Amino acid sequence: MEIKAFEKKIYLSSPTMHGDEMLYMNKAYETNWMSTVGENINAVEGLMCDYTGTAHSVALSSGTAALHLAMKLAGVKRGDRVFCSDMTFAATVNPVVYEGGIPIFIDSERDTWNMDPVALEKAFELYPEVKVVVAVNLYGTPAKLDELCAVCEKHGAVLVEDAAESLGASYKGRQTGSFGTYNVISFNGNKIITGSSGGVLLSDDGAAIDSARKWSTQSREDAPWYQHTELGYNYRMSNVVAGVVRGQMPYIDKHIAQKKAIYERYREGLKDLPVTMNPYDGNLCEPNFWLSCLLIDEAAMCPQHRTDTGSTYTPEKGKSCPDMIIERLAKYNAEARPIWKPMHLQPFYSDCAFVTAKGEGRNAANVDTDIFTRGLCLPSDNKMTKDEQDMVIEIIRSCFRGY
Ligand SMILES: *Cc1c(COP(=O)(O)O)cnc(C)c1O
């Protein structure tokens, strides 16, 4: 196959619209509910409860806002330590700090690339006072949720499930976004479905969701004037944004099927290379396949040197590395990205503890640094055609052929 640059950029994951979105956005316009109140917002809340099987929900301006309100509901106070996924987007963790909490990062396991229940148990041995755990389902693959829930329960801690990337993924037949006491979904532009922005906080605790709804609309009391007994936020979802989400919801299963086909085509097309895909156990869970990722075998890694802001690598015949593949795909107008850089490696969080399955782990070998070093996210856009993906695969193959 002759390698040619893509005329139209192949994105990692971009919004996929269907037309229904315009209908509901227009309805907001025609009825003049151009506001953070309206029918679309109520509809989104109902749809999300039905889809995830969670009793109550509040639609918010972003997944980050939902995580922030989850921290308040979980009772995180200044100086409190909170166990957090380490290999994730910073938005999982930053809300801990908004409330003055201190994140402690937990290493991942290799079976799902999510928080390791063994490391979490270790962390409770080291910090038995901790009462809140924030765990992500990375790239749409459910974490070992039974094990994580059991460890949390054993230690009387509240689980906050960051399901921002995993809407539609299920674990033992149950939807993600329903395992935590508080659960977070995101409708950011690159997620499995989008509102252009937006998020939802879900819980079976109706009083908690009522509190979050009140905080999200500036904590107004029931009074003739603006009366406040609590600190407020402007975190409510817009009725226009909710219209987009409402229009996307009927297509979520289609998006997941497309993402799964992309994942399987990569697995097939790359199977004789010294690489593996982001793993999952099909007997336990069904991911939403939001992003397809690669992990390069250790023996097939050419030397790659990363600093805080850049990277260099030394090509070797038959070997490659993430930054070489990302660079080459970019050259042909396709977007790939490094794995989320672990939080324990972020300068902003350099003072925070990091716990692996073996104990305190800042200076020890760990899973997250290894996956970050050898892994990358591949172009996973729904709209990528089979021919385009074949070309992406050919470009990746060329990286291992020599230089
Ligand atoms: C996207 C994302 C968020 C934040 O969602 P926003 O809606 O962008 O605020 C949180 N956690 C993870 C893991 C995400 O990928």
Strand partners, 334: 10
Are 56 and 95 in the same domain?
Answer: yes
Q: Which of 205, 228, 250 is where one domain is finished?
A: 250
CATH for 103: 3.40.640.10
Whether 5 maps to a domain, the answer reads no
142 lines ligand 1 (CB under 6 A): no
- Interatomic CA distance for residues 370 and 143, integer angstroms: 18
pLDDT at residue 111, rounded to an integer? 98
Q: Whose CA is nearest to atom 5 of ligand 1?
A: 63
CATH of the domain at 276: 3.90.1150.10
Among residues 218, 250, 282, which one ends one of the domains? 250
Q: Specify the number of domains making up the chain.
A: 2
- Token code pair at residue 358: 């073996």
pLDDT at site 1: 80
Listed residues 223, 250, 277: the one ending a domain? 250
Per-residue pLDDT for the chain (403 aa), expressed as one digit of tens each? 889 999 999 999 999 999 999 999 999 999 999 999 999 999 999 999 999 999 999 999 999 999 999 999 999 999 999 999 999 999 999 999 999 999 999 999 999 999 999 999 999 999 999 999 999 999 999 999 999 999 999 999 999 999 999 999 999 999 999 999 999 999 999 999 999 999 999 999 999 999 999 999 999 999 999 999 999 999 999 999 999 999 999 999 999 999 999 999 999 999 999 999 999 999 999 999 999 999 999 999 999 999 999 999 999 999 999 999 999 999 999 999 999 999 999 999 999 999 999 999 898 999 999 999 999 999 999 999 999 999 999 999 999 997 5
Tell me how crowded residue 194 is: count the other CB atoms within 10 A of its CB. Answer: 23
In a domain, 10, yes or no: no
Measure the CA–CA gap between 158 and 182, rounded to whole angstroms: 8
300 alpha carbon to ligand 1 midpoint, in Å?
32
Residue 199 CA to ligand 1 center (angstroms) comes to 8
Q: Return the best residue to mutate from 92, 185, 341 for the ligand 1 pocket (most ligand atoms within 8 A of CB).
A: 92
Ligand 1 binding pocket includes 13 (Cβ within 6 Å): no
291 located within any domain: yes
pLDDT at residue 341 in the model: 98
Q: Which atom of ligand 1 is nearest to the CA of 186?
A: 7
How many angstroms separate the alpha carbon of residue 164 from the centre of ligand 1? Answer: 5
Range of the domain at 268: 252-401
Task: Indicate the SS3 state at residue 374.
Answer: helix
What are the two backbone dihedrals, phi and then psi, of residue 164, each rounded to the nearest 5 degrees? -55, -35
| Gap from CA of 198 to ligand 1 centroid (Å) | 10
| Full-model pTM | 0.97
**Per-position DSSP letters for 49-114, written without gaps between them:** HHHHT-SEEEEESBHHHHHHHHHHHTT--TT-EEEEESSS-GGGTHHHHHTT-EEEEEPBPTTTSS
9 assigned to some structural domain? no
Residues 239 and 271 in one domain: no
Atom of ligand 1 nearest to the CA of 198: 7
Whether the CB-CB separation of 304 and 321 falls below 8 Å is answered with yes
Calculated CA dihedral for residues 263, 264, 265, 266, nearest 10 degrees: 50
Q: Strand locations in 120-242, DSSP E?
A: 132-136, 158-162, 170-171, 174-175, 182-186, 199-203
Please tell me the distance from the alpha carbon of residue 202 to that of residue 323, in angstroms, as a whole number. 37
User: Are the CB atoms for 108 and 359 separated by under 8 Å?
Assistant: no
